[in-house]
């Protein structure tokens, strides 16, 4: 009798498990929640106005004007910043934003990068490291020598710049003269990051470094060693390099020699 009850109990348990399993949705059918457009950002420790503008693809001048913040753009943890809306007339007069028509365009070479062969763009040769290319008043140079493993793709949030493979500890050089406006690791997905301001229009970023060699506020010269290449925030040793024009990502290959 005890044996029959034991078998009956096991059978009921198996039926319950099968029944529950039949109602579980397969992993492949689980959808990601829809993206939410943020209207505000709450400042955290380590944030700067520049890093917040970089995170959301904003022009730092526009973000400052939108929130009535004057140079040198000091912010504090817990402060709530508006990301959208119209710039108040009084604020726009204090922090003017350059009109698009006045922005200098990159000087095209005899053979534009867009028409070059794929093979010629897969590596920054040693002889090109010292070469420069002018865009407006700025002369750009390659920040590191190595294999180009990922290219810029307009509209792709994962390809806002180029990835250049290298060895851990290899020198990362400033791509142009400028001022370091961010040095830290608070921006998710960038690891140890440097952002350099070259003008009111152009900024550049150097991500996934092993070690940062300059601090915020440092003046740097083109070709100066500013970091050591590494794998912070990623799965391999590489430099992720971006150029932003008026807050928007542009293809670095259109600016590098």
**Structural domain of residue 137, as residue ranges?**
117-254
Q: Are residues 221 and 142 in the same domain?
A: yes
124-134 tens-digit pLDDT: 545 556 688 88
Are 176 and 204 spatial neighbours (Cβ–Cβ below 8 Å)?
A: yes
Nearest one of 125, 168, 169 to 147, comparing CA atoms: 125
- CATH code for position 194: 2.70.70.10
- CATH code for position 62: 3.10.350.10
Residue 28, in any domain of the structure: no
Does residue 21 have a pLDDT over 80? no
Are 170 and 228 spatial neighbours (Cβ–Cβ below 8 Å)?
A: yes
**Residues paired with residue 194 on neighbouring β-strands, in sequence order:** 183, 206
- Section 205-216 average pLDDT: 97
Q: Are residues 136 and 240 in the same domain?
A: yes
Are 51 and 187 spatial neighbours (Cβ–Cβ below 8 Å)?
A: yes
Residue 133's pLDDT is what? 86
Residue 22, in any domain of the structure: no
Residue 46's pLDDT is what? 85
- Section 11-39 average pLDDT: 47
Are 214 and 180 spatial neighbours (Cβ–Cβ below 8 Å)?
A: yes
Domain count of the chain? 2
Helix (H) or strand (E) holding 92: helix 89-94
Residue 227's pLDDT is what? 98
Q: What is the rounded distance in angstroms from the CA atom of residue 20 to the CA atom of residue 17? A: 5
Most confident of 6-20, 33-47, 105-119, 178-192: 178-192
127-166 tens-digit pLDDT: 556 688 887 789 999 999 999 999 999 988 889 999 999 9
Q: Are residues 130 and 80 in the same domain?
A: no
Q: State pTM to two decimals.
A: 0.68
Residue 147, in any domain of the structure: yes
Give the chain's radius of gyration (CA, Å): 25
Q: Are residues 231 and 136 in the same domain?
A: yes
């Amino acid at each position: 009798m005890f044996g029959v009850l034991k078998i009956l109990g096991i059978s009921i348990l198996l039926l319950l498990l099968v029944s529950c399993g039949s109602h579980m949705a397969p992993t492949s059918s689980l959808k990601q929640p829809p993206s939410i457009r943020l209207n505000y950002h709450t400042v955290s420790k380590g944030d700067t106005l520049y890093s917040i503008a970089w995170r959301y693809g904003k022009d730092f001048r526009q973000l400052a004007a939108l929130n009535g913040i004057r140079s040198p753009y000091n912010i504090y943890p817990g402060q709530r910043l508006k990301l959208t809306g119209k710039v108040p007339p009084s604020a726009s007069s204090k922090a003017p934003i350059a009109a698009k028509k006045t922005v200098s365009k990159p000087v095209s070479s005899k053979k534009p990068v867009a028409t070059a062969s794929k093979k010629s763009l897969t590596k920054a040769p040693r002889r090109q490291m010292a070469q420069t290319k002018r865009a407006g008043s700025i002369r750009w140079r390659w920040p590191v020598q190595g294999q180009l493993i990922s290219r810029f793709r307009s509209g792709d949030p994962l390809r806002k710049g180029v990835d250049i493979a290298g060895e851990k500890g290899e020198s990362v050089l400033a791509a142009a003269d400028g001022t370091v406006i961010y040095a830290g690791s608070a921006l998710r997905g960038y690891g140890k990051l440097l952002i350099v301001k070259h003008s009111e229009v152009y900024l550049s970023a150097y991500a996934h470094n092993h070690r940062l060699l300059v601090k915020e506020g440092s003046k740097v010269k083109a070709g100066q060693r500013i970091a050591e290449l590494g794998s912070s925030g990623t799965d391999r040793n590489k430099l992720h390099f971006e150029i932003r024009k008026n807050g928007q990502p542009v293809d670095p290959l259109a600016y590098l020699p």
